[in-house]
Every structure is written in structure tokens, then in C-alpha cells.
Amino acid sequence: MLRFLTAGESHGRGLSVIVEGMPAGVPLTDGDINTWLARRQGGYGRGGRMAIERDRAEILAGVRGGLTLGSPVALFIANRDWENWQEIMAPGPEARADRVVTRPRPGHADLPGGLKYHQADLRNILERASARETAARVAAGAVAAALLKELAVELAFHVVRIGPVEVRRQVDWEAACRAVESPVYCADPEAGRAMVAAIEEARQQGDTLGGVVEVLARGVPAGLGSHVHWDRRLDGRLAQALMSIPAIKGVEIGAGFRVAALPGSRVHDAIAYREGQGFYHPTNRAGGLEGGLTNGETLVLRAAMKPIPTLMHPLPSVDLITKQPATASIERSDVCAVPAAAVVAAAAVAWVLAGAILEQFGGDFLPLIQERLVAYRQYLQEI
């Protein structure tokens, strides 16, 4: 079974990742992971923290000679800002009680986390609830993506909305792959320029913007997931992975929420058959998933991100200690992190797909998995 754990706080020494279940023989270097991390740090609208950090993953275990060993893969991403926080975030009793946070930010985990864990200093909540943790998740997703690459499964991502600006044309695979060339990872140049302008306007007003990202995956064989139990449905697992990303408030697959307003004749995809290809769908409104299983078409998933809760003109709050009205705390933050969310979403999708493939085909070393997957793809073409 493929699984990972992360540990670390936003201003702590760094982020640790343990990936378990990765088969042996998968090509993997720190460069593969760092490409993903650099894209997560990119995107117009990022704040001062990204000017400090230069995320680099160090492979500590589980890889030798550029190939995974089948043992747990251990990664570490250092926080460069640690030198400014080491006395405050020290794990021992000598930690200084500076930068205490008692005014919770609306829309953040500050208040519910403080109540749950009985914390008077909300820094003990926000340090872990911070989206900084997604750097570790992206690193784990990059490991999964390295496996998918060897299995001929490809990923692409792009931004379809930031604030009021939306891409209103269909984005094909090639355009989605080129989206990383845009400062906001948008496949439509005109919409991308308007998104940059919207971010600048929000920055000047001390506000923040959310948006919508899209992740595509092609080369995914039909039959991943299952309809037989609720927790084996791949659409549910993908949605959970995307919803677990901080600030994500909605997930769509294929035509998504639009299907609620359309008749079935305009929603469902007809089935066709071609010699040498097998069964296929001429359209893809289902987004590559039917009944909890992949159907062989390109996966299309979208996630909606709310604006970041930290505002330069903070909303009203209540002080946790005095119980008196107060303005919410201000932490260093971004104006818009939607482009970064697209990278995190792609990493989350990569992780779920890699796990589903390993569940379906098994195998502790890469050539065996490749052999089984090739045979299965041939079966699908000839059935």
C-alpha cells in the first residue's frame, strides 16, 4: 500500500516526508522533486515568504544510484526562515514566548484548532495548519509522479479562474501543458493578463483572491477504482485528496456542477468501439470517471480555492484570552496562491492515481508492474 506522512511547522526547522510502498527500480532524483517544488513556489501573487524560501528536497533514504530501493523514501525540505525563528520555535523549554497569537483569523484553523487542542497561543495551531505543509505534500506527489511517468501516465494542470477573471474557452492538452509559461499558470494569454491585473488590484486594496484550478491526467487505464464499496470509488478518493488541500472548498469532475441544470441526454457520454482501440467515449463530460472507476478517457478535475484568510485589512474577531472584540491577527501571507494550488492539486492527483495503479497491478519492482500494465492495456484494446 502506498502512503505518506509529513511533519513540520511553517517556521520550524523544516518539513519531513516519509513515503512508504514505492516499488523498487523507479528513477528518482532530487531534481525530479525540486522541479515540482519550484513550480509550487511560483505564480504571480505570492508574498514575502516565497522571496525567502528556495525549496529544495534532500533525499535522505530509500534511493540509491538514482533508483528507489523499495524501502521507505525519506525527504527533508529545510525552512530558510528557521534562523529568524529558532528561538521562538525551539522544541525545548527554552523557547521564547514571542509572537504570541490570541486574535484568531476568520476562515483559518486558528479558532477551531485552538479550542480542540486547548491552546492559549494560536501559533501552536497556525504553524501546522499553514499551507506551508503543502510543500511536503508536493514532494510526496512528485515521487508518485515519477512512478506514473514510467507507466506512461501524464499529468497537466492550469488555472481557469482567479477572482472575477475566468477562462471561457476549451483548453486542450497541449495548451494545458504550456500553462506553466504563464505567470499565473493560465493557458489563455488574454485571461492570464487580466488575472495579473486583478491580483494587483486586490494587493492595492489589502485584499486576497481565490480561484479555480484544473488537473488533467491521460494514459490512465480503464478500471481503476471500484464500484463495490463506497471507500473504493476513485472519484471519492480523488475528491478527498483535493478537498484536503488548505482553502479548497469545492471539487468538480468533468462537467461538474453544470450537470445539475442539464437533461441526461446532454450529460452522459455515448459509448463507441473501434478495432484496435477498444471501447471509448466520443465525448468526455464524465471527466474520465463513471461509477467510481476510470473509463479510459482523460481525467478532468477542478478545485475551487477560497481567498486566503490573512487580510492586510483584517476582519473583526475576538481575543481568545480577554474575550473582547479585536481585529484578527496578521501573518505574512500571499495575495493569491491559486497558481500554487494548481501544482498542489496535480501532486494530490498523482498520489491517488499511483496508489490506485499499485493496488490494481501489484508488484514490488518497476519492470513487473510495467509488464502487467502493458498486458492489461493490450487486453482492453482487444476485448
Q: Which CATH architecture has domain 3-382?
A: 4-Layer Sandwich (3.60)
Cell of 139: 514532494
pLDDT recorded at residue 54: 82
Average pLDDT over residues 265-275: 95
Amino acid at 268: H
Show me where the domains of the chain are located. Answer: 3-382
Does the structure show a pLDDT above 90 at 51?
A: no
Where residue 311 falls among pLDDT bands split at 50, 70, 90? confident
- Report d(CA 204, CA 197) in Å as an integer: 11
Q: What does the pLDDT read at residue 264?
A: 95
**Rounded to whole angstroms, how far apart are CA atoms 184 and 62?**
35
Q: Say yes or no to pLDDT of 50 above 60.
A: no
* Full 3-state SS string of the chain: CCEEEEECCCCCCEEEEEEECCCECCECCHHHHHHHHHHHHCCCCCCHHHHHCCCCEEEEECEECCEECCCCEEEEEECCCHHHHCCCCCCCCCCCCCCCCCCCCCCCCHHHHHHHHCCCCCHHHHHHHCHHHHHHHHHHHHHHHHHHHHCCCEEEEEEEEECCEECCCCCCHHHHHHHHHCCCCCCCHHHHHHHHHHHHHHHHCCCCCCEEEEEEEECCCCCCECCCCHHHCHHHHHHHHHHCCCCEEEEEECCHHHHHHCCHHHCCCCCEEECCCEEECCCCCCCCEECCEECCCCEEEEEEECCCCCCCCCCEEECCCCCCEEECCCCCCCCCCHHHHHHHHHHHHHHHHHHHHHHHHCCCEHHHHHHHHHHHHHHHHHC
Amino acid type, 125: I
pLDDT(53) > 80: no
Q: What is the pLDDT of residues 108-134, one digit of tens each?
A: 999 999 999 999 999 999 999 999 999
Return binding residues for FMN: 128-130, 291, 306-310, 332
Distance, in Å, from the CA atom of 54 to the CA atom of 79, rounded to the nearest integer, reads 8
C-alpha cell at 270: 455515448
Mean pLDDT of 190-199: 97
Instruction: Enter the pTM of the model.
Output: 0.95
Write out the binding residues: 40, 46, 128-130, 291, 306-310, 332
pLDDT grade, residue 46 (50/70/90)?
confident
The arithmetic mean of pLDDT across residues 33-51, rounded, is: 84
Span 272-286, average pLDDT: 94
Q: How many other CB atoms sit within 10 Å of the CB of residue 315?
A: 11
pLDDT in tens, 99-109: 899 999 999 99
Binding residues for NADP(+): 40, 46
